[in-house]
Chains A and B, each alone.
Chain A
């Protein structure tokens, strides 16, 4: 199974780095929850305890992600004109089967971003996914933990 999961995440990374967002949307389940808690500069225990209460960086469902892609497709979303060059590295992948056919997938990511002529930065973090399988892999839940307390313009999907 781990090879299937690896192939899936690498395919997803390829779609996102290539700007093929409509195809990426097809990997998302209708009842998707996609969120990224904001980090806090406090003890590990305190940070974990407050995590769900803090204002997140992403709090999305499939409809709101479609809206984000629709916006990019207007060709008027200046933050991505011309598009930011991204290259993502997905690693440390683990997979465990949960109940109801959901597979819990953990992975680390490092995304290199290059904008305009010389603006370059990294976005680094990890993800906890729940993928449903039943012929086709569909993303049901993704929690993204970025390792930055102060971030740059996050005009990307993680």
Chain B
């Protein structure tokens, strides 16, 4: 039965993958506990003691910069009676006092104080907050994993580093906007995660209103348009521009060349639209003048909470930062003219799938142009007019779920 959740040979995915509460619980115990999960950006931390709230899958966590300059990740859930230890979404603190019974934790997650008298046998060191096994930073992006055995973050990102470097590599690094866009998405987290790295097709369909207004500059049929997928389940869409036009942003990119260590090939792709999902639930959408970084937080089988930020070079002129912030707000926010249409389509998906019989399967058969594989880019490349990248995402997901069960 489980082998059939994702069928690579007949290229279908079971509807249960998006609705079944048992599968949701299992993916929390496997996919989200073994993978590297994005939690925050280095620019959100200015001083020692700064912290932010985040989610590691469904687990509420705190990400803290400690007194020695290290990042710590631990559950924001008291080890005593599971109260939320810290309520503020961001701030600065050397210690956290749980409001329920005033247990006190330091910003590494260790229990340092219990206000009531306790027996000599009570061992505080046993009752620290649940900690991530590893925390690692790649070009200002802070990730954690709850698996001590997980391969290093750089290995995990693998071939996708080459593409991330295009967005992130710059003297001075990047920063994210202050303030977080948070919206409720009424479908399983995998639907948007899949779409962001693999679904070129929906651009022309669901977002056609912007095309009609002449607000799209993309040529999906260009030689320079393609998909990428990697064995780790990371996926990417690259769409070349229809016309090479100089804009405020592309002129800025030209000036930026000396500040970046990326190749000519990478620089050329910065003229394209890039939509990326880093497995499992971190996504980016970029085109010249816009960059959004976002996490699809799973809440339940049929509900996801999208947290997103604008991303730009830290040393960019204020005019460029303002342009990116405005474009993100107007296109990829809960009021955004592109995001609204996605949210609308996703909003009834959970309900639709629940109405279908258990053997209902979704079609991932498309591969219209098989000969344009093997482009000279890192990762496996595929035609833009195909479901190959989407299927690669589910292949990786199914491998992890199956492996944890001991099934082949």
Give chain A's interface residues, CB within 8 Å of chain B.
Answer: 36-38, 40-43, 46, 50, 53-60, 64, 67-68, 70-71, 74, 76-79, 115-116, 119, 149-155
- Name the A residues within 8 Å of B107 (CB-CB): none
Distance (Å) between the CB of B181 and the closest chain A CB? 6
14 additional A-B residue pairs with CB within 8 Å, beyond A41-B88, A54-B177, A152-B343: A37-B179, A40-B89, A41-B87, A41-B89, A55-B180, A55-B328, A76-B208, A77-B209, A78-B206, A78-B209, A78-B345, A150-B182, A150-B184, A152-B183
Residue of A nearest to B307 (CB): A150
B74-82, B114-122, B329-337 - the one binding chain A: B329-337
Q: Mind listing 21 A-B residue pairs with CB under 8 Å? A: A40-B89, A40-B90, A42-B91, A43-B88, A55-B328, A55-B333, A57-B334, A58-B329, A59-B325, A59-B326, A59-B329, A59-B330, A74-B208, A74-B209, A78-B206, A78-B209, A119-B348, A150-B182, A150-B184, A153-B344, A154-B183
B42-94, CB < 8 A from A: 87-91
Main secondary structure of the interface of B (DSSP, over half): mixed
Minimum-distance CB pairs A-B, first 7: A54-B179, A79-B344, A55-B177, A153-B343, A76-B209, A79-B340, A150-B182
Whether A155 contacts B183 by the Cβ 8 Å rule is no
**Cβ-neighbour of A42 out of B88, B182, B209, B337 (below 8 A):** B88
Interface majority SS on A: helix, strand, loop or mixed?
Answer: loop
A149/B213 in contact, CB under 8 A: no
Contacts of A50 in B (CB 8 A): 178-179
Q: A21 to B109, alpha carbons, bound, how many Å?
A: 52
When distances are taken between beta carbons in the complex, the residues of chain B under 8 Å from A42 are: 88-91
How many A-B pairs with Cβ below 8 Å?
A: 113
Interfacial chain A residues near B206, Cβ < 8 Å: 78
| Complex contacts, A59 vs chain B, CB 8 Å | 325-326, 329-330
Interface status of B403 (Cβ within 8 A of chain A): no
**Residues of chain B at interface, number, CB under 8 A:** 40
Report Cα–Cα, A58/B305, bound state, in Å.
19
A71, closest chain B residue (CB): B209
**Least CB distance, A46 to chain B, in whole angstroms:** 7
Annotate B168-193 by CB proximity to A: 1 below 8 A, 0 otherwise. 00000000011111111000000000
If the complex has contacts A76-B209, A149-B182, are A57 and B333 also in contact, measured as CB distance less than 8 A? yes
Q: Which residues of B contact A40 (CB under 8 A)?
A: 89-90, 179-180
Q: Are B330 and A60 in contact (CB under 8 A)?
A: yes
Give chain B interface residues in 205-246, CB to chain A under 8 Å: 206, 208-210, 212-213, 215
- Tell me, yes or no, whether B341 is within 8 Å of chain A by CB: yes
A79 and B207 alpha carbons, distance in the complex (Å): 10
Which positions 366-382 of chain B face chain A at CB distance < 8 Å? none
Within 8 Å by CB of B334, from A70, A119, A151, lies: A151
- A76 in contact with B340 given A38-B179, A55-B328 (CB within 8 Å): no
Contact A57 B329, CB 8 Å, known A42-B91, A119-B347, A153-B334: yes
Tell me, in angstroms, the Cα distance from A38 to B87 when the chains sit together: 18
CA–CA, A152 and B347, complex, Å: 10
Contact B334 A79, beta carbon cutoff 8 Å: no
Could you tell me if B212 and A74 are in contact, using CB atoms closer than 8 angstroms? Answer: yes
Contact B178 A54 (CB under 8 A): yes
Q: Which residue on A lies nearest to B208, using beta carbons?
A: A76
List B contacts of A37 (CB < 8 A): 179
Q: Which residues of A contact B337 (CB under 8 A)?
A: 67-68, 71, 77
From A55, A57, A79, contact of B310 by CB (8 A): A55
**A55–B341 CB distance below 8 A:** no
Q: Which residues of B contact A53 (CB under 8 A)?
A: 178-179
Known: A71-B210, A76-B209, A151-B334. A46 touches B91 (CB 8 A): yes
